[in-house]
């Protein structure tokens, strides 16, 4: 029997998002139907909204809900289980094959096959995108673990493997950047330098563990980072003092910030140790120009981090423990809440920079 659902549809033509009533199909053998409690609103959906497209689509990729139907081959969750939905396969290393995609009729003769969609009061997805959680977790704020927390904190923990005492700079302290700040604090990084364009956001970041804030509208962010991290007893090639952070994270993906994170990194101590690592976390929409000579001579690295290099089955229990222990203040990180009928207001606020942390939809 089909499951009625209210879903947000991104029309093929450039127009406001629409809330439609549709019927979800019964799950295939490896699929799960979830009644949702809440979904995060991620900045990457804005890229989808502005990109050319050939058909309408469904959006959203992080949520918390409860299983109401499951396919016959699904063994890790039962009906009634609380789950988190994400866009990264929960256990790809041990999967038998690629995740399935449901065929969803959204009316008007259109059928779409998204891997996940969470801007909906009910959703359907392959079991690889569904992670079991304890029944007593908060069912609203935990919805952002499936992308914001995973992407930001995971970049620090998994991609960069930051260690105690490492110096860190984080460009952009929205929901993903704040999660990176928490990850750096949990690893014992020092200093943890937040870089943004808004003093209020920089002050907010200190609540999550940032030790310094740099407003890039007032100073040159790279110069300011070097002033905070100089080491006069170490010298780079050519005798210049070593300065810069061990790890710089770009949680925005703009051309400007992508080109700042490499020079923000520490130069290598010539003959003694390599330079720092720049990590791209935000979704880029442009090409980037890097100084290859600097990367070579100062032995720096530039690398990407998709989904925080996370394995959700392994990492989500840790993030949930952080929340339960008070180390990850999701109640403060979620700064705005909307109903599904307010989705256009929510995306407009995000695009205009009026969302200080992460916003969510509540169903």
Beta bridge partners of 269: 273
DSSP state of 118: -
Q: Please tell me the predicted confidence (pLDDT) of residue 37.
A: 98
Q: Please tell me the predicted confidence (pLDDT) of residue 65.
A: 98
Mean pLDDT by 10 residues, the chain (363 residues): 95 89 97 98 89 91 98 96 97 90 93 97 98 97 98 98 98 97 98 96 97 98 95 71 92 96 90 89 93 92 97 98 98 97 96 92 98
Q: Which of 247, 266, 306, 263 is nearest to 282 (CA)?
A: 306
Q: Please tell me the predicted confidence (pLDDT) of residue 238.
A: 67
Residue 45 tokens read as 């959906």
Q: Please tell me the predicted confidence (pLDDT) of residue 35.
A: 98
Helices then strands, counting H and E runs in the chain, come out as: 11, 20
H-helix segments, the chain: 44-50, 148-154, 175-187, 199-206, 221-229, 255-258, 261-264, 292-297, 312-325, 330-333, 343-351
Q: Please tell me the predicted confidence (pLDDT) of residue 15.
A: 78
Residue 153 tokens read as 């904190």
Q: Please tell me the predicted confidence (pLDDT) of residue 54.
A: 86
- Distance (Å, rounded) from C-alpha 236 to C-alpha 265? 12
CA 204-280-278 angle, 5° bins:
95
Task: Give Cα 175 distance to the centre of its chain.
Answer: 7
pTM (predicted TM-score): 0.95
Q: Please tell me the predicted confidence (pLDDT) of residue 14.
A: 78
- Distance (Å, rounded) from C-alpha 245 to C-alpha 225? 7
Q: Which domains does the chain have, with CATH numbers?
A: 3-146+329-362 (3.90.180.10), 149-306 (3.40.50.720)
Q: Please tell me the predicted confidence (pLDDT) of residue 273.
A: 79
DSSP state of 41: E
Q: Please tell me the predicted confidence (pLDDT) of residue 47.
A: 86
């Amino acid at each position: 029997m089909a499951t009625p659902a209210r879903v947000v549809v991104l029309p093929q033509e450039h127009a406001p998002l629409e809330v439609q009533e549709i019927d979800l199909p019964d799950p295939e053998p490896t699929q799960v139907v979830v009644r949702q409690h809440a979904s995060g609103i991620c900045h990457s959906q804005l890229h989808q909204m502005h990109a050319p497209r050939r058909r309408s689509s469904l959006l959203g990729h992080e949520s918390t809900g409860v299983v109401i139907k499951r396919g016959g081959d699904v063994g890790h969750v039962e009906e009634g289980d609380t789950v988190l939905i994400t866009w990264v396969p929960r256990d790809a290393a041990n999967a038998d094959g690629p995740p399935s995609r449901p065929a969803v009729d959204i009316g008007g003769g259109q059928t779409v096959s998204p891997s996940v969609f969470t801007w909906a009061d009910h959703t359907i997805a392959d079991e690889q995108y569904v992670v079991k959680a304890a029944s007593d977790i908060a069912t609203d704020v935990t919805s952002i673990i499936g992308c914001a927390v995973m992407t930001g904190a995971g970049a620090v923990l998994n991609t960069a493997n930051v260690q105690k005492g490492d110096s860190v700079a984080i460009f952009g302290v929205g929901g993903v950047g704040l999660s990176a700040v928490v990850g750096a604090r949990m690893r014992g990084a020092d200093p943890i330098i937040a870089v943004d364009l808004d003093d209020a956001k920089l002050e907010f970041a200190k609540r999550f563990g940032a030790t310094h804030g740099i407003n890039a509208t007032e100073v040159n962010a790279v110069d300011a980072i070097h002033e905070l991290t100089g080491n006069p007893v170490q010298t780079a090639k050519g005798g210049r003092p070593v300065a810069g952070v061990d790890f710089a994270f770009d949680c925005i993906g703009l051309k400007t910030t992508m080109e700042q994170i490499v020079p923000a990194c520490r130069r290598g101590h010539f003959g003694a140790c390599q330079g720092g690592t720049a990590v791209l976390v935000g979704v880029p929409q442009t090409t980037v120009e890097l100084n290859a000579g600097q990367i070579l001579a100062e032995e720096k690295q530039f690398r990407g981090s998709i989904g925080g290099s996370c394995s959700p089955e392994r990492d989500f229990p840790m993030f949930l423990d952080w929340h339960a222990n008070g180390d990850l203040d999701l109640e403060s990180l979620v700064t705005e809440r909307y109903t599904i009928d307010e989705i256009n207001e929510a995306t407009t606020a995000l695009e205009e920079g009026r969302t200080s942390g992460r916003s969510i939809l509540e169903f």
